[in-house]
Chain A
Amino acid sequence: EAQVTQNPRYLITVTGKKLTVTCSQNMNHEYMSWYRQDPGLGLRQIYYSMNVEVTDKGDVPEGYKVSRKEKRNFPLILESPSPNQTSLYFCASSFRGQGARNSPLHFGNGTRLTVT
Protein backbone atom coordinates (compact mmCIF):
# COMPACT_ATOMS: atom_id res chain seq x y z
CA GLU A 1 0.00 0.00 0.00
CA ALA A 2 1.32 3.44 -0.97
CA GLN A 3 1.78 5.49 2.14
CA VAL A 4 3.70 8.02 4.16
CA THR A 5 4.54 6.69 7.62
CA GLN A 6 5.34 8.92 10.56
CA ASN A 7 6.50 7.84 13.98
CA PRO A 8 5.66 8.30 16.72
CA ARG A 9 1.99 9.33 16.55
CA TYR A 10 2.14 10.95 19.98
CA LEU A 11 5.12 12.32 21.84
CA ILE A 12 5.40 14.13 25.16
CA THR A 13 8.79 15.50 26.08
CA VAL A 14 10.46 18.14 28.20
CA THR A 15 12.16 21.34 27.18
CA GLY A 16 15.64 20.82 25.83
CA LYS A 17 15.54 17.07 25.28
CA LYS A 18 16.50 16.30 21.70
CA LEU A 19 13.99 14.32 19.68
CA THR A 20 13.51 12.98 16.18
CA VAL A 21 10.27 12.36 14.31
CA THR A 22 10.72 9.88 11.50
CA CYS A 23 9.03 9.98 8.11
CA SER A 24 9.23 7.35 5.42
CA GLN A 25 7.46 7.00 2.06
CA ASN A 26 7.28 3.95 -0.20
CA MET A 27 6.26 5.69 -3.44
CA ASN A 28 9.72 6.66 -4.70
CA HIS A 29 8.78 10.32 -4.40
CA GLU A 30 11.45 12.92 -4.99
CA TYR A 31 9.82 15.68 -2.98
CA MET A 32 9.23 15.57 0.78
CA SER A 33 8.14 18.23 3.22
CA TRP A 34 7.34 18.86 6.87
CA TYR A 35 4.44 20.99 8.09
CA ARG A 36 3.10 22.00 11.43
CA GLN A 37 -0.60 22.53 12.00
CA ASP A 38 -1.81 24.96 14.63
CA PRO A 39 -5.38 26.12 15.33
CA GLY A 40 -6.28 29.19 13.30
CA LEU A 41 -3.01 29.11 11.39
CA GLY A 42 -3.58 26.18 9.05
CA LEU A 43 -0.49 24.39 7.75
CA ARG A 44 2.88 26.05 7.78
CA GLN A 45 5.86 24.56 6.05
CA ILE A 46 8.96 23.89 8.14
CA TYR A 47 11.45 22.35 5.70
CA TYR A 48 11.32 20.63 2.37
CA SER A 49 13.53 18.49 0.18
CA MET A 50 13.50 18.34 -3.60
CA ASN A 51 15.66 15.20 -3.67
CA VAL A 52 18.39 13.30 -1.80
CA GLU A 53 20.85 15.66 -0.11
CA VAL A 54 18.79 18.70 -1.23
CA THR A 55 16.92 20.44 1.58
CA ASP A 56 15.69 23.97 2.11
CA LYS A 57 13.86 26.11 4.63
CA GLY A 58 10.14 26.62 4.54
CA ASP A 59 8.20 29.35 6.31
CA VAL A 60 8.94 28.41 9.93
CA PRO A 61 12.32 26.59 10.09
CA GLU A 62 13.64 28.02 13.38
CA GLY A 63 14.34 25.33 15.95
CA TYR A 64 14.19 22.46 13.47
CA LYS A 65 16.63 20.44 11.40
CA VAL A 66 16.13 17.86 8.67
CA SER A 67 18.21 15.47 6.64
CA ARG A 68 17.66 13.56 3.39
CA LYS A 69 20.30 10.87 3.14
CA GLU A 70 17.96 8.41 1.40
CA LYS A 71 15.09 9.04 -0.96
CA ARG A 72 12.48 7.38 1.23
CA ASN A 73 13.34 8.97 4.60
CA PHE A 74 13.06 12.56 5.79
CA PRO A 75 13.42 12.84 9.58
CA LEU A 76 12.58 15.99 11.50
CA ILE A 77 14.96 16.82 14.33
CA LEU A 78 14.33 19.14 17.26
CA GLU A 79 17.72 19.67 18.89
CA SER A 80 16.36 21.58 21.89
CA PRO A 81 12.56 21.53 21.91
CA SER A 82 10.65 24.39 23.48
CA PRO A 83 6.98 24.68 24.51
CA ASN A 84 6.19 26.83 21.43
CA GLN A 85 6.97 23.78 19.30
CA THR A 86 3.98 21.97 20.77
CA SER A 87 1.98 21.24 17.66
CA LEU A 88 0.65 18.66 15.22
CA TYR A 89 3.28 17.75 12.64
CA PHE A 90 2.76 16.28 9.19
CA CYS A 91 5.16 14.84 6.69
CA ALA A 92 4.16 14.86 3.02
CA SER A 93 5.62 13.68 -0.27
CA SER A 94 4.98 13.90 -3.99
CA PHE A 95 6.72 13.06 -7.24
CA ARG A 96 7.71 16.53 -8.28
CA GLY A 97 7.27 19.47 -5.95
CA GLN A 98 4.18 20.69 -4.19
CA GLY A 99 1.08 20.37 -6.24
CA ALA A 100 2.74 19.51 -9.52
CA ARG A 101 0.30 18.95 -12.36
CA ASN A 102 -0.25 15.27 -11.77
CA SER A 103 1.35 14.92 -8.38
CA PRO A 104 -0.75 15.84 -5.35
CA LEU A 105 0.79 15.69 -1.91
CA HIS A 106 0.47 12.49 0.11
CA PHE A 107 0.40 13.07 3.86
CA GLY A 108 1.30 10.96 6.85
CA ASN A 109 -1.16 10.60 9.73
CA GLY A 110 0.59 13.15 11.88
CA THR A 111 2.63 13.35 15.07
CA ARG A 112 1.17 15.21 18.01
CA LEU A 113 4.05 16.69 19.98
CA THR A 114 3.76 18.20 23.44
CA VAL A 115 6.76 19.97 24.97
CA THR A 116 6.45 20.79 28.67
Chain B
Amino acid sequence: AQSVAQPEDQVNVAEGNPLTVKCTYSVSGNPYLFWYVQYPNRGLQFLLKYITGDNLVKGSYGFEAEFNKSQTSFHLKKPSALVSDSALYFCAVRDGEAGANNLFFGTGTRLTVIP
Protein backbone atom coordinates (compact mmCIF):
# COMPACT_ATOMS: atom_id res chain seq x y z
CA ALA B 1 0.00 0.00 0.00
CA GLN B 2 1.14 3.51 -0.72
CA SER B 3 1.71 5.89 2.15
CA VAL B 4 3.76 8.82 3.36
CA ALA B 5 4.66 9.74 6.92
CA GLN B 6 5.82 12.96 8.47
CA PRO B 7 6.81 11.88 11.96
CA GLU B 8 6.98 15.37 13.48
CA ASP B 9 3.90 17.55 13.83
CA GLN B 10 6.03 20.51 14.87
CA VAL B 11 9.64 21.53 14.28
CA ASN B 12 11.20 24.55 15.96
CA VAL B 13 14.52 25.97 14.86
CA ALA B 14 16.44 29.16 15.60
CA GLU B 15 16.92 31.65 12.81
CA GLY B 16 20.20 31.03 11.01
CA ASN B 17 20.40 27.38 12.04
CA PRO B 18 19.99 24.52 9.59
CA LEU B 19 16.55 22.94 9.41
CA THR B 20 15.30 19.47 8.53
CA VAL B 21 11.72 18.36 8.02
CA LYS B 22 11.42 14.60 7.81
CA CYS B 23 9.45 12.46 5.39
CA THR B 24 9.37 8.72 4.81
CA TYR B 25 7.34 6.93 2.18
CA SER B 26 6.13 3.57 0.99
CA VAL B 27 5.28 2.72 -2.63
CA SER B 28 5.44 -0.48 -4.61
CA GLY B 29 6.91 1.08 -7.74
CA ASN B 30 9.30 3.96 -8.36
CA PRO B 31 8.45 6.95 -6.18
CA TYR B 32 7.74 10.45 -7.38
CA LEU B 33 8.27 12.67 -4.34
CA PHE B 34 7.19 16.24 -3.70
CA TRP B 35 7.35 18.93 -1.07
CA TYR B 36 4.71 21.62 -0.79
CA VAL B 37 4.57 24.59 1.57
CA GLN B 38 1.46 26.29 2.96
CA TYR B 39 1.68 29.82 4.29
CA PRO B 40 -1.16 31.18 6.46
CA ASN B 41 -4.40 31.76 4.57
CA ARG B 42 -2.90 30.44 1.35
CA GLY B 43 -3.06 27.28 -0.69
CA LEU B 44 -0.20 24.83 -0.99
CA GLN B 45 2.73 25.90 -3.13
CA PHE B 46 5.07 23.51 -4.91
CA LEU B 47 8.64 23.58 -3.53
CA LEU B 48 10.52 20.77 -5.22
CA LYS B 49 10.26 17.27 -6.61
CA TYR B 50 12.26 14.11 -7.14
CA ILE B 51 11.42 12.00 -10.15
CA THR B 52 14.74 10.44 -11.14
CA GLY B 53 18.44 11.31 -11.33
CA ASP B 54 20.50 13.12 -8.72
CA ASN B 55 19.45 12.23 -5.19
CA LEU B 56 19.88 15.83 -4.02
CA VAL B 57 17.13 18.03 -5.37
CA LYS B 58 17.19 21.81 -5.15
CA GLY B 59 13.99 23.83 -5.06
CA SER B 60 12.52 27.23 -4.35
CA TYR B 61 13.56 29.60 -1.54
CA GLY B 62 16.87 27.81 -0.92
CA PHE B 63 15.30 24.51 0.08
CA GLU B 64 16.66 21.15 -0.94
CA ALA B 65 15.74 17.55 -0.31
CA GLU B 66 17.67 14.33 -0.38
CA PHE B 67 16.20 11.14 -1.77
CA ASN B 68 17.43 8.08 0.11
CA LYS B 69 16.15 4.89 -1.46
CA SER B 70 17.50 2.51 1.18
CA GLN B 71 15.86 4.46 3.99
CA THR B 72 12.79 5.36 1.88
CA SER B 73 13.15 8.95 2.98
CA PHE B 74 12.91 12.35 1.38
CA HIS B 75 13.84 14.88 4.05
CA LEU B 76 13.54 18.60 3.37
CA LYS B 77 16.52 20.73 4.35
CA LYS B 78 17.78 24.27 4.36
CA PRO B 79 21.25 25.36 5.51
CA SER B 80 20.12 28.55 7.24
CA ALA B 81 16.53 29.08 8.38
CA LEU B 82 14.69 32.37 8.00
CA VAL B 83 11.74 33.57 10.08
CA SER B 84 9.80 33.78 6.81
CA ASP B 85 10.22 30.00 6.38
CA SER B 86 7.70 29.47 9.18
CA ALA B 87 4.85 27.58 7.55
CA LEU B 88 3.18 24.20 7.20
CA TYR B 89 5.11 21.72 5.05
CA PHE B 90 3.63 18.72 3.27
CA CYS B 91 5.44 15.79 1.76
CA ALA B 92 3.67 13.87 -1.00
CA VAL B 93 4.42 10.66 -2.85
CA ARG B 94 3.14 9.07 -5.98
CA ASP B 95 3.81 5.66 -7.42
CA GLY B 96 5.33 6.55 -10.79
CA GLU B 97 4.05 3.36 -12.37
CA ALA B 98 0.47 3.64 -11.21
CA GLY B 99 -2.39 5.69 -12.60
CA ALA B 100 -2.56 9.43 -12.81
CA ASN B 101 -4.54 9.98 -9.61
CA ASN B 102 -2.58 8.45 -6.78
CA LEU B 103 -0.78 11.26 -5.01
CA PHE B 104 -0.70 10.80 -1.24
CA PHE B 105 -0.01 13.65 1.14
CA GLY B 106 1.50 13.44 4.60
CA THR B 107 -0.27 15.06 7.53
CA GLY B 108 2.03 18.06 7.50
CA THR B 109 4.79 19.47 9.71
CA ARG B 110 4.54 22.94 11.14
CA LEU B 111 7.89 24.68 11.03
CA THR B 112 8.47 27.60 13.37
CA VAL B 113 11.66 29.62 12.99
CA ILE B 114 12.45 31.53 16.15
CA PRO B 115 14.09 34.93 15.78
Contacts and interface: CB of A to CB of B under 8 A. Distances in A.
B103 A99 contact: yes
Interface in B46-79: 46, 49, 51
Interface residues of A, number: 27
A99 B49 CA distance: 9
Given A42-B90, A109-B41, A98 B46 contact: no
Nearest to B51: A101
A106 B44 CA distance: 8
A34 interface: no
Interface size class of B (residues with CB under 8 A): 20 to 34
Nearest to A56: B101
A83 interface: no
Interface centre among A42, A56, A90, A100 (most CB of B within 10 A): A42
A4 interface: yes
Nearest to A43: B105
Interface string A25-45: 000000101000000111101
Contacts of B46: 104-106
Given A45-B101, A50-B101, 8 more contacts: A42-B106, A43-B90, A58-B101, A97-B99, A97-B100, A98-B103, A99-B34, A104-B49
